[in-house]
């Protein structure tokens, strides 16, 4: 459904939100280990998440690492998808027509429409903070 980069991005953000803080930053090797992702590749992805939107923060030097500001916990998976450039996927036609719409529907449009609505709801309703809370309540995994 998503690229490897986006999968790693989502898992990394959840892990950073769960285990990190400004006082206890997480270093790259720890993050990559926790989500079972290639470290150098993960570094590139984390840069993308810090650069423009500053969804996560990074600090260089000893005791440096990554953390997420509390106010960013209201952001949702959808925001991560947007940053990673896969946000449009949630608007697209399942058969690849240029536009998914009522006026030019593909043969699967009727069935797919309600599913697409649920996909959108899922990614827009699940905030990072909520996911962390759910992870603490139940038994969930990132690898």
Partner DNA sequence: ATAATTAAAGACAAAGTTGTCCTTTTTTAT
Partner DNA sequence: ATAAAAAAGGACAACTTTGTCTTTAATTAT
**Which of 63, 118 has the CB closer to its own copies?**
118
**Which of 30, 86 has the CB closer to its own copies?**
86
* Contact partner, 118, from ligand FES, its own copies, DNA, none, Cβ < 5-8 Å per class: its own copies
Taking the complex as a whole, how short is the minimal distance between the CB of residue 64 and its own copies, in angstroms?
27
Return the residue matching tokens 């803080």: 21
Collapsing DSSP to helix, strand or coil, 129 comes out as helix
Q: Is 122 in the site for its own copies (CB under 8 A)?
A: yes
Taking the complex as a whole, how short is the minimal distance between the CB of residue 129 and its own copies, in angstroms?
12
* Cα–Cα distances in angstroms (integers) from residue 39 to residues 31, 57, 93, 119, in the given order: 8, 18, 34, 29
Choose the stretch contacting its own copies; rule: CB under 8 A; options: 26-34, 38-46, 60-68, 99-107: 99-107
**Which of 73, 142 has the CB closer to its own copies?**
142
Selected from 50, 112, 126, 135, the binder of ligand FES by CB under 6 A is 112
Distance CA 15, CA 142 (A): 8
Distance CA 55, CA 105 (A): 36
Distance CA 99, CA 25 (A): 43
Q: Is 34 in the site for its own copies (CB under 8 A)?
A: no
Entry field: residues in the chain? 143
Q: 69 near 61, Cβ under 8 Å?
A: no
Contact footprint for its own copies (CB under 8 A): 1-2, 4, 7-8, 10-11, 14, 77, 89, 92, 94-97, 104-109, 111-112, 114-115, 118-119, 122, 126, 131, 134-135, 139-143
């Amino acid at each position: 459904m998503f690229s490897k980069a986006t999968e790693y991005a989502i898992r990394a953000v959840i892990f950073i939100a769960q285990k990190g803080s400004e006082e206890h930053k997480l270093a790259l090797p720890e993050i990559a280990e926790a989500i079972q992702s290639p470290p150098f590749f993960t570094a590139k992805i984390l840069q993308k998440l810090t650069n423009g939107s500053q969804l996560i923060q990074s600090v260089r030097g000893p005791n440096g690492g990554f953390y997420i500001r509390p106010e960013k916990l209201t952001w949702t998976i959808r925001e991560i998808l947007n940053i990673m450039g896969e946000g449009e996927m949630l608007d697209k036609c399942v058969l690849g027509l240029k536009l998914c719409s009522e006026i030019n529907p593909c043969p699967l449009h009727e069935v797919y429409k309600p599913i697409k609505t649920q996909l959108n709801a899922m990614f827009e309703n699940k905030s990072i903070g909520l996911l962390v809370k759910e992870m603490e309540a139940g038994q969930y995994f990132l690898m």
